[in-house]
Chains A and B, each alone.
Chain A
Amino acid sequence: MKVAITAISGSMDSQLEQRFGRAEFFIIADLESGEYEVIDNKAASETGGAGIQAGQTIINSGVVALITGNVGPNSMRVLNSGNIKMFRGQKDTIEKNIELYKEGKLEEIVDSVASHFGMR
């Protein structure tokens, strides 16, 4: 079973990257074997629609869950469509976040919209 985490640099002791769409790296970790793979997030250098492309990359990577900070509404739509669960990571290393995930201690992200106002 694999999970994806947004990372600031490409190693297990990197800090978690808060952004999803513009994250530079995704680390794909195999929870059973402990192995991991680093993917460059090509979406980070797109002019627009980064979250959508990043979402597509995550789905193509075959993970069951994503651990990150902010998830915009477009990313959320793509990830939901691929049945990928999203979790809010802590300001800590990738390694630590995976541990917390395994222990069920990370909060699931279910709604990115905190809208309070009516439309104009």
Chain B
Amino acid sequence: MKQVVFISGKGGTGKSTVVASLAKYVNNKVLADCDVDAPNLHILLENDIIAKEDFIGAKEAYIDKDKCIECGKCREVCRYDAISSDYVVNSIKCEGCNACTLVCPVDAITLNEVKIGEIYDSKTKYGMFSHALLDIGSDGSGKIVTEVKKRAKEYVKGKDYTLVDGSPGIGCVVIASITGADAVVIVAEATKSGQSDLERVLKVAQHFGINSYVCINKYDLNTSVTKDITKFCTLNNVKVIGKIPFEPKIVKALQQFKTPMDDDDLKHIKDEIINMWNKLEREMN
């Protein structure tokens, strides 16, 4: 079983559309959506949730009003402005750092683990699928990404691939998305901002010595940026395995909940995605 993770650095590059397309094309696989801030894969895959679990993902301080003597020491040390003047902890601002617990002279503060979202196991026509949704105001973390991947693992027996829709950004969430991968595909956009974001995320991937490949989306929108990206990849020993043209009809297809794989008008896009996958398969085996 090989794990392939798709990341993008920047949002809106088409990563989820590419992953959804491959979900419909690649056989014998398991899927995971690690983009927990704004999970999108389930929208195109028609999933049936068969199991869900509360995700206990963060720690928060809680002040026992009965014990609290309102001395103010907790408010002095809190660097996130999370304790109000009437000694109530604001859950959105509290980082769970423990500083207030340490200074409270009457032990009125406890640090508790709290639920910040849910993780789902779903059944789809295209394979088992694990995904998650965070509560409003809660942040993603390496922990939830790891949990989502772990749930996907339950279903990998006998499967050839795990396809992971990774987290955007460059921090802990991306690292947790890509570690353990056999290959990372960075879906980059042929725009100036897309190029700078590709460079940042590639550095993270290479830090971990994981084989990375690039797919340039909307490549003909700006052929000079595409040239720059290609040059950059060559210089850094990274193969460009796909070049998808700019195609407004993809959006129309998405609006009908279709991917390029299900729309005859998008055969050229479908062919390019299949091409890219074939190249990737050869590289991995």
Q: Do chains A and B touch in the complex (CB under 8 A)?
A: yes
Question: Among the listed stretches A29-37, A59-67, A79-87, A108-116, which one makes contact with chain B, having 4 or more residues with CB under 8 Å of it?
Answer: A108-116
A46/B143 in contact, CB under 8 A: yes
Given B143, B172, B208, B235, which contacts A116 in the complex, CB threshold below 8 Å?
A: B235
Q: Mark A71-90, 1 if CB is under 8 A from B, else 0.
A: 01100000000000000000
- The distance in angstroms between the C-alpha atoms of A44 and B172, with both chains bound, is 13
B203/A70 in contact, CB under 8 A: no
A22/B208 in contact, CB under 8 A: no
A44/B146 in contact, CB under 8 A: yes
- The distance in angstroms between the C-alpha atoms of A45 and B56, with both chains bound, is 10
Central interface residue in B57, B146, B179, by most chain A CB within 10 Å: B179
Taking the nearest CB of chain B, how far is it from the CB of A61, in angstroms?
A: 21
- The distance in angstroms between the C-alpha atoms of A113 and B204, with both chains bound, is 9
A48/B207 in contact, CB under 8 A: no
A73/B207 in contact, CB under 8 A: yes
B57/A47 in contact, CB under 8 A: yes
Q: Mark B229-258, 1 if CB is under 8 A from A, else 0.
A: 000000111000000000000000000000
Range, interface on chain B: 20 to 34
- The distance in angstroms between the C-alpha atoms of A19 and B199, with both chains bound, is 24
Main secondary structure, interface of A, reads: loop
Main secondary structure, interface of B, reads: helix
A28 within 8 A of B: no
A18 within 8 A of B: yes
Q: Mark A8-28, 1 if CB is under 8 A from B, else 0.
A: 000000000111011010000
Identify the closest chain A residue to B145 (Cβ). Answer: A22
A117/B180 in contact, CB under 8 A: no
- Given known pairs A47-B57, A48-B141, A72-B175, the reply for A113 and B207 (CB within 8 Å) is yes
Identify the closest chain A residue to B3 (Cβ). Answer: A18
B176/A70 in contact, CB under 8 A: no
B236/A22 in contact, CB under 8 A: no
- The distance in angstroms between the C-alpha atoms of A115 and B180, with both chains bound, is 19
B143/A70 in contact, CB under 8 A: no
* 14 A-B interface contacts by CB (under 8 A): A19-B180, A22-B142, A22-B146, A22-B176, A45-B146, A45-B147, A47-B142, A48-B142, A70-B209, A72-B175, A112-B208, A112-B209, A116-B235, A117-B199
- For the complex with contacts A47-B141, A116-B235, 16 further pairs of A-B residues with Cβ separation under 8 Å are A18-B180, A22-B146, A45-B146, A45-B147, A46-B143, A69-B180, A70-B179, A72-B175, A72-B207, A72-B208, A112-B207, A112-B208, A114-B207, A115-B206, A116-B236, A120-B200
